[in-house]
Chain A
Amino acid sequence: NAGVMQNPRHLVRRRGQEARLRCSPMKGHSHVYWYRQLPEEGLKFMVYLQKENIIDESGMPKERFSAEFPKEGPSILRIQQVVRGDSAAYFCASRTGFTGLETQYFGPGTRLLVL
């Protein structure tokens, strides 16, 4: 059973470009979370999605950031017009939909560098 997959593992963008980060949850998992880790910091929650629905986006910046988890295919975190401050590691986590099984399993992360 493959774990949570993220790609690309490393992404370099110039200021003003768009960044697209992909996350494939573990098999059988229908809940996806995105977290951001700034240098020397812990992880900060961004958004929580189920298939085709955004459940909680309280950690998402109001502008330039969006996330989706379509019926088919991976979850996508999209950052438009990137700035240097967006440089960070972005982690995706997934879990099952069963109540009581709340444990989130993390992917290896995408390290975004904005030049």
Chain B
Amino acid sequence: GEDVEQSLFLSVREGDSSVINCTYTDSSSTYLYWYKQEPGAGLQLLTYIFSNMDMKQDQRLTVLLNKKDKHLSLRIADTQTGDSAIYFCAELNQAGTALIFGKGTTLSVSS
């Protein structure tokens, strides 16, 4: 079945780069997403990548997609304390009717 896996925690120092990794199982996924959730809040769309792309860059964010290994990563350059949050990886399901989410990676940024 469709499944998305993420590591649960990442701790970095302010100014360093953060890399959050995700693996997914459905090779037919067309869209893959990264969402950010701050405590008590909803999900904020950070970025997405279409399956025919290998990389997408948007300011401090870089998304890398390795379709062969079904691996997705989100790199945050110059990580700030305001980046502390839970980051969710998600894929669009095969039917195109729902997002399949990972359990989220809690990013902790220390000054």
Nearest B residue to A45 by beta-carbon distance?
Answer: B98
Q: Are A56 and B48 closer than 8 Å at their CB atoms?
A: no
Contacts of A55 in B (CB 8 A): 97
Size of interface on A: residues with Cβ below 8 Å to B = 26
Q: Which 3 A-B pairs have the closest CB atoms?
A: A45-B98, A42-B101, A108-B42
Nearest A residue to B102 by beta-carbon distance?
Answer: A42
The CA of A2 and the CA of B107, in the complex, are separated in Å by: 28
Chain A residues proximal to chain B, CB less than 8 Å: 4, 6, 33, 35, 40-45, 48, 55-56, 58-59, 91, 93, 102-109, 111
Q: Are A104 and B42 closer than 8 Å at their CB atoms?
A: no
Q: Are A45 and B42 closer than 8 Å at their CB atoms?
A: no
Known: A42-B104, A103-B33, A106-B43. A48 touches B97 (CB 8 A): yes
Known: A102-B30, A102-B96. A41 touches B103 (CB 8 A): yes
Interchain Cβ contacts under 8 Å between A and B, 30 examples: A4-B42, A6-B42, A33-B98, A35-B99, A40-B103, A42-B4, A42-B102, A42-B103, A42-B104, A43-B88, A43-B101, A45-B93, A45-B98, A45-B100, A48-B98, A55-B97, A56-B95, A56-B97, A56-B98, A102-B30, A102-B92, A102-B96, A103-B33, A103-B45, A103-B48, A104-B45, A104-B99, A106-B35, A108-B42, A109-B41
Nearest A residue to B40 by beta-carbon distance?
Answer: A111
Contacts of B43 in A (CB 8 A): 43, 91, 93, 106
Nearest B residue to A40 by beta-carbon distance?
Answer: B103
Size of interface on B: residues with Cβ below 8 Å to A = 26
Shortest C-beta distance, B96 to chain A (Å), equals 7
The CA of A71 and the CA of B100, in the complex, are separated in Å by: 28
Contacts of A102 in B (CB 8 A): 30-31, 92, 96
Contacts of B48 in A (CB 8 A): 103
Q: Are B101 and A44 closer than 8 Å at their CB atoms?
A: yes
Contacts of A103 in B (CB 8 A): 31, 33, 45, 48
The CA of A48 and the CA of B100, in the complex, are separated in Å by: 13
The CA of A42 and the CA of B40, in the complex, are separated in Å by: 14
The CA of A92 and the CA of B48, in the complex, are separated in Å by: 19
